[in-house]
Amino acid sequence: MRKYKRPLWAAVAVAMALAVAACGSSGSSSSASGGSSGTTSSTSSSGGSSSGKTGGTATVVEGTFPQSLDPSIDFTTQGGEVHWLTHLGPYSFAHATGTAGTQIIPSVAQASPTVSGGGKTYTFTIRSGLKYSDGTPLKASDLTFAIERDIKLGWSAAGFLTSTIAGASDYAKGKAKSISGITTDDASGKTTIHLVQPYGAFVDVLAVPGVSYLPKSTPMKPEPNNPPVGFGPYVIKNVQNNVGFSLDLNPNYASQAIPGIPAGKMNINVKIESNTTTEASDVLNNSADVFDWGDTIPPALIQQVSKQSDRYKAYETNKTFYWFLNTTQKPFNNALARQAVAYAVDRPALARIGSGALVPGCFLLPPQMVGHPTGQCPFGDPNSPPNVSKAKQMVQQSGTAGTPVTVWAENRQPRLQWAENYAATLNAIGYKATLKTIADAEYFSTIETLKNHPQTGFADWQQDFPNPTDFYQNLVDANAIVPVGNSNYEEVNDPHIQSELKALYPVPGDKINSAASRWAALDTYVTQKAYVVPYGYESSPEFLSNRIDFSKVVFSPLEGNDFSSLQPK
Amino acid sequence: MSTATGTELSSEISGWSDAGEELPPGLGPYQLAWRRLKRNKIALAFGGLFLAVVIVCLLAPVYSHDIAHSGPNDEHADTALNQFGLPIGPTWHAKFFLGADSTGRDVAVRLLYGGRNSLQIGAEATIITIVLATLLGILAGYFRGPLDGLISRAFELIWAYPVYLLGIALGVVLAISGLNLGFTRLSGNSLQIPALIIGVIYVPYVGKPVRGQVLGLREREFIDAARQQGLGHARIMFSEILPNVASTIIVFIPLIMANAILTEAGLSFLGAGVRPPNPSWGTMIGEGIGLLPAAVHTMLVPGIMLVLCVLGINVFGDGVRDALDPRAKIRIEH
């Protein structure tokens, strides 16, 4: 017996170590990339004065690294939250909570544009004397360069530009060396943009982060680790891909601050924590200050967090979650097969898996958006269990039963769990579904690459501006199908949709309510066709540490936490 | 195996004979080892523990169909999750005996199916390691020269990488693209991919000791005698040398299996092993971490099962080592 004591106790010690390691708090659990995302759960607490209202550093934890810190590439919530402070464009959205935050304010432009030529010509003049964060003078022609760069580098929302600005499409195809529809005068700062046809949401587009001024010295290639110089209250620094970055106060901004776009009060340190439980725990125990508004408070902590009314609030931010069904791939090139999926998706289950923060729904336009249909869901009450037997029948009728289906899934809680549920649903109705999980930071870049032709998978859309055009032009418009940066994952090209969009796009933003019923009809049509299968609308969390003055923080319905409003108590 | 070989071995290993005990005549070394193992009650108990884990996992379909009435991927969000998405804990009844996980799946069912996957991957990886390591180790040690140089450098190249980093890198790439082996193609979520990765990673850990032993054996007189008799290289390697390294290889089997199961759990925990929704103990622990501290059972249950399984193999493996060669000191260093 004695000679086995040592290996026996050694084995027990190993077992104990394994158990402790499994209980460890290191946030590397869900990362599928090279192991670099997800650092230890608590770094040294950000410094900063505990007294006074300015100074110090706030730590923001985000579940995934932005698609890119280069504003000409990124079109994600994590990136937008940064770029609307570091790379201002001609216009911006008001730094305000609630509906007020959807108003457009002049940024680099002096005032709202003059619209003429039957809605096809936009003219504005930029403020004089502005300088980028490195001191380079900002010129009117820099906007032309920046838009050309957006198109050349395949910005995910480049469709906003190529389908509207005259000459942009030719530039995108390589038929022109510059965009003929934009003329600028650097001496006076006057900028004139000609459109191919009236487009009611054009000023909204000019306010989206990504349409920003960049100096012409910026390389015409992606610069994710060394983001281009911009003009704004903050400057991006210390980029470590998939680990974190910092936003330092731009010392040159305060003297040229734009009205309505205040200079920041604290430096920002952004760290990536792919485990949302660790992310929420960090903020709960005040070792981090801000929770990523694009993430979901996990089930294990939602009850505890929601009780902290002095630092937590959930906002409706017009965000739709849906499954895309590629209409060019079997079995989803079959309408009956798609409708079967719409019948089978278990929306109440998905809502539970999403910590109860998801409101089940079936229309693409979210409830707060103009054009959200008020009629019943064509596939049954989204709050009731799904009609799986009918779905199975439809799959059999369509002749597509047994077809292998690859479900593309983002490796992030609860999106992975949603995808597992969805794959189980597809298997239940007669398909052979398997999951293909992609690391967070690479997911959208991967499914946006057209040659991958993803069959079906997770997608979501957070409103960029309060106009249904935002959803449709990117997600369902055939003109949005591009080789790189494609958001029309379904590759849908429906003549009825195209003709309706042609009529709806020119409706001016301030008259959008007049077109609400027509948008609603179109949204109902898209739902019935089941090109996309929305399953719910998620509220976004504003969740801060006790260190931050919650009453002073602005939560934009479009860009999330306004870092420039963060200040210590 | 020639008589000379058996004599050579027995005369060197004085620990094989049981001190003070009258042994029946004609007892071979393996029979002696079996006698020693039979007397090691601790090793047998832990071997039995491991066997029990294997049998229970093999009975997963029976438990799933006849007791729990739920498959490993069947989700019951409406009954097993509350409105905030928290899963129920152990009910100690047939359904959800050990509770549910984050999507409402039965933990007990997934535990057993996950065990099947983990054990299958461990076994396949072990077979791959042993076969490749034996083959390459013998070839390297017997032929020496440039072939030995090539194989040894390959071993060192693999050995230079930390096991988990290499596993993660290969696991992530192959999970996306799958693996085309020419005669067949493995999809990204095939269980054979982690088995292949783990099997290849551990080849140097067995191959180098085997090579070392073969380097010594090839100089022995019985090898010269075999050459004198006109036996070819292949015959010498597999009829004369292989039986003499068999005891070393047998000792490695439980050790490699334990490491393979642990490595699979680690890679799956990190998202580079078994792909969801396929269960394995590692993926279950990884998913359970996200539910701490509210639903501890989702992480604790697969963790305990993993510990019991690996402990069982390790202690049994120690017993096998002591029975075959009490003087051997075999470690696998990461």
User: What's the gap in Å between the CA of A319 and the closest CA on chain B?
Assistant: 19
Peptide bond preceding A331 in cis form (omega within 30 of 0): yes
pLDDT interval class at A275 (50, 70, 90): confident
**B103 to chain A: which residues are within 8 Å by CB?**
349, 353, 417, 420-421
User: What's the gap in Å between the CA of A462 and the closest CA on chain B?
Assistant: 22
Tokens 């429906």 sit on residue: A494
| Nearest-angstrom CA–CA distance, A254 and A262 | 8
pLDDT top residue among A356 and A247: A247
**Section A541-550 average pLDDT:** 96
Please judge whether B40 and A29 are an interchain contact, meaning their C-beta atoms are less than 8 angstroms apart. Answer: no
| Nearest-angstrom CA–CA distance, A559 and A91 | 14
Please judge whether B294 and A352 are an interchain contact, meaning their C-beta atoms are less than 8 angstroms apart. Answer: no
Each residue's pLDDT tens digit, A84-118: 999 999 999 999 999 999 999 999 999 999 999 99
Tokens 């022995």 sit on residue: B220
CB count within 10 Å of CB A248 equals 17
User: What's the gap in Å between the CA of B332 and the closest CA on chain A?
Assistant: 14
pLDDT interval class at B159 (50, 70, 90): confident
**B303 to chain A: which residues are within 8 Å by CB?**
18-19, 22
Backbone angles phi, psi at A458, to 5 degrees: -80, 140
The count of CB pairs under 8 A between chains A and B is: 162
User: In the 8-state DSSP scheme, what is residue B22?
Assistant: P
- The residue of chain A with its CA nearest to that of B293 is A300
State whether the Cα torsion A303-A304-A310-A315 is positive or negative.
negative
User: In the 8-state DSSP scheme, what is residue A358?
Assistant: E
pLDDT over threshold 50, residue A393: yes
ipTM value for the complex: 0.77
**A355 to chain B: which residues are within 8 Å by CB?**
84-85
Q: Three-state secondary structure along B94-155?
A: CCCCCCECCCCCEHHHHHHHHHHHHHHHHHHHHHHHHHHHHHHHHHHHHHCHHHHHHHHHHH
pLDDT at residue B46, as a whole number: 95
User: What's the gap in Å between the CA of B130 and the closest CA on chain A?
Assistant: 23
**B72 to chain A: which residues are within 8 Å by CB?**
none
Q: Which residues pair with A312 in a beta bridge?
A: A543
**Section A488-497 average pLDDT:** 96
- Radius of gyration (C-alpha) of chain A in whole angstroms: 24
pLDDT over threshold 60, residue B288: yes
Each residue's pLDDT tens digit, B217-236: 988 898 888 888 888 989 99
Please judge whether A7 and B314 are an interchain contact, meaning their C-beta atoms are less than 8 angstroms apart. Answer: yes
pLDDT over threshold 70, residue A30: no
Using an 8 Å Cβ cutoff, are B46 and B316 in contact? yes
pLDDT over threshold 90, residue A567: yes
Q: Average pLDDT over chain A, rounded to whole?
A: 89
pLDDT interval class at B331 (50, 70, 90): low
- The residue of chain A with its CA nearest to that of B285 is A22
pLDDT at residue B190, as a whole number: 80
- The residue of chain A with its CA nearest to that of B301 is A19
**A19 to chain B: which residues are within 8 Å by CB?**
303-304, 307
**Section A7-31 average pLDDT:** 42
Please, which residues have CB within 8 angstroms of residue A19's CB and are 6 or more apart in sequence?
A: B303, B304, B307
Each residue's pLDDT tens digit, B4-27: 334 344 333 434 444 455 556 677
Tokens of B65: 């169909």
Nearest-CB residue to B293 (from A30, A31, A300) = A300
Please, which residues have CB within 8 angstroms of residue A447's CB and are 6 or more apart in sequence?
A: A408, A438, A454, A457, A459, A489
Asked if A275 is an interface residue toward chain B (Cβ–Cβ < 8 A), one would say yes
CA-nearest of A559, A103, A60 to A317 is A559
**Section B63-89 average pLDDT:** 93
Tokens of A458: 């997770």
Query: To the nearest whole percent, how much of chain A has pLDDT over 70?
Result: 91
- pTM for this one? 0.82
Please judge whether B290 and A438 are an interchain contact, meaning their C-beta atoms are less than 8 angstroms apart. Answer: no
Please, which residues have CB within 8 angstroms of residue A20's CB and are 6 or more apart in sequence?
A: none
Is A393 exposed, middle or buried, given 0-12, 13-18 or 19+ CB atoms closer than 10 A? middle
Asked if A329 is an interface residue toward chain B (Cβ–Cβ < 8 A), one would say no
Q: Average pLDDT over chain B, rounded to whole?
A: 86
**Section A333-348 average pLDDT:** 97
CB count within 10 Å of CB A121 equals 17
Please judge whether A29 and B286 are an interchain contact, meaning their C-beta atoms are less than 8 angstroms apart. Answer: yes
pLDDT interval class at A479 (50, 70, 90): confident
Q: Which long-range contacts (CB under 8 A, 24 or more apart) does A214-219 make?
A: A214/A71, A214/A72, A214/A87, A214/A142, A214/A145, A214/A146, A214/A149, A215/A132, A215/A136, A215/A138, A215/A142, A215/A145, A216/A141, A216/A142, A216/A145, A217/A136, A218/A145, A218/A149
CA-nearest of A103, A97, A91 to A556 is A97
**A3 to chain B: which residues are within 8 Å by CB?**
322
Q: In chain B, what is the straight-line distance between the N-terminal and C-terminal CA atoms, in Å?
A: 35
User: What's the gap in Å between the CA of B15 and the closest CA on chain A?
Assistant: 15
Question: Of chain A residues 13-52, which have a CB less than 8 A from chain B?
Answer: 14-15, 18-19, 22-23, 28-35
User: What's the gap in Å between the CA of B155 and the closest CA on chain A?
Assistant: 23
pLDDT at residue A177, as a whole number: 95
pLDDT over threshold 70, residue A200: yes
Give the angle subtended at the CA of A23 by the CAs of A18 and A24, to the nearest 5°. 95
- The residue of chain B with its CA nearest to that of A385 is B78
pLDDT over threshold 90, residue B256: yes
Question: Of chain A residues 200-219, which have a CB less than 8 A from chain B?
Answer: none
